[in-house]
Amino acid sequence: MSFRTTAAAALAVLALTATATACGKEGSPSSSGTPDKSGSSSAAAAELPTYTVKTGVDLAGSKTWDRIKKNGKLVVGVKADQPNLGYQDPGSKKYSGFDIEIAKMIAADLGFDESKIEFKTIQSANRETALAGGQVDYYVGTYTINDERKKSVSFAGPYFVAGQDLLVKKGSGIKSTDDLKGKKVCSATGSTSIQRIKDGGYGAEPVEYDSYSLCVQNLASGQVDAVTTDDAILKGYAAQDPANLEVVGKPFSEEPYGVGLLKDDKVLQEALTAALKNHEDNGDWKKAYDATLGKSGVSAEIPQLES
């Protein structure tokens, strides 16, 4: 093989991939952003609320706020691969879901319009470092409040309570956590779910990936027997492949989701809690819920905020 022919061939193919952008279907695969193919007609009609942006907000004494003012925008850490919660459209790169709505309603109360929010995808394992290092101003992404995490970050919330559950193949015979003995159970590195499988004495073999979607792919190929995390997340995945996957439906924990923020930034914590309270009272919470998570049939209850 001479250099010239190989290089020419390689260049030709590379050029083809480049020009391929010129021909193809316009736009993104799904404009709505949710891969919900079942098309539940009535629920899908629910529309996202709009939030009134406050003006003249000032949080003196908050380190995070000083940075926000300097940047002139909010940087919010979120998840990108959880349908109906925190989901990024692969084509348009737009984020959507309940967590995203929560982030937006808080931002509105801090005086920031949707266009002034920069969403950043942060994996479960890196959340604490991202908050401590100031990489994000706050984090909204299925972030369970617990004492262990309170050592390194502070929380506002909870704004939602989920429960850990199992996603299995239809007809797998796994009906509850009692059936997990000797089974391979997959979850995300650094999540509370994987910790519970390791510590809970279920006799299951934990398998860790950096994202749940790799777990789901491995479930489909039979490499793992179950995927475990919060029911709200799992229902979104089950909806992507309803013919083969199902959620067991017996939550075995309570996962109160909070908004993560820099440890001991009391001023910001109070502001975020007040913002959540405000939108829960004025009905935005419910509207946002109906337009996102509500579609996959997760129960809706506004949890009691921690003071």
Interface with another protein by CB under 8 A: which residues? 1-4, 6-7, 10-11, 13-14, 17-18, 20-21, 24-30, 35, 37, 80-81, 87-93, 121-123, 125-126, 128-130, 133-135, 151-152, 186, 189-190, 207-211, 213-214, 216-218, 220-223, 240-241
The three-state secondary structure class of 189 is coil
Residue type, 135: Q
Give the residue among 58, 61, 49, 50 at the shortest CA–CA distance from 111: 58
* Residue (63 or 286) nearer to another protein, CB: 63
The helix (H) or strand (E) run that includes residue 74 is: strand 74-78
* Residue (180 or 276) nearer to another protein, CB: 180
- Tokens, residue 276: 């959540």
Minimum Å distance from CB 256 to another protein? 20
Minimum Å distance from CB 161 to another protein? 24
Minimum Å distance from CB 224 to another protein? 9
DSSP 177: G
* Residue (130 or 168) nearer to another protein, CB: 130
CB 147 within 8 A of CB 214: no
* Residue (7 or 300) nearer to another protein, CB: 7
Minimum Å distance from CB 303 to another protein? 26
Instruction: Please state, in angstroms and rounded to a whole number, the distance separating the CA atoms of residues 123 and 141.
Output: 9
- Integer CA distances (angstroms), 169 to 63, 115, 219, in order: 47, 40, 7
Minimum Å distance from CB 152 to another protein? 6
- Please, which residues bridge with residue 169 across strands? 245
* Residue (218 or 253) nearer to another protein, CB: 218
Give the residue among 93, 86, 92 at the shortest CA–CA distance from 293: 86
Minimum Å distance from CB 84 to another protein? 12
Instruction: Please state, in angstroms and rounded to a whole number, the distance separating the CA atoms of residues 198 and 205.
Output: 8
* Residue (28 or 282) nearer to another protein, CB: 28
Instruction: Please state, in angstroms and rounded to a whole number, the distance separating the CA atoms of residues 229 and 194.
Output: 8
* Residue (92 or 253) nearer to another protein, CB: 92
Give the residue among 209, 135, 134, 131 at the shortest CA–CA distance from 143: 131
Instruction: Please state, in angstroms and rounded to a whole number, the distance separating the CA atoms of residues 129 and 284.
Output: 31
Minimum Å distance from CB 245 to another protein? 11
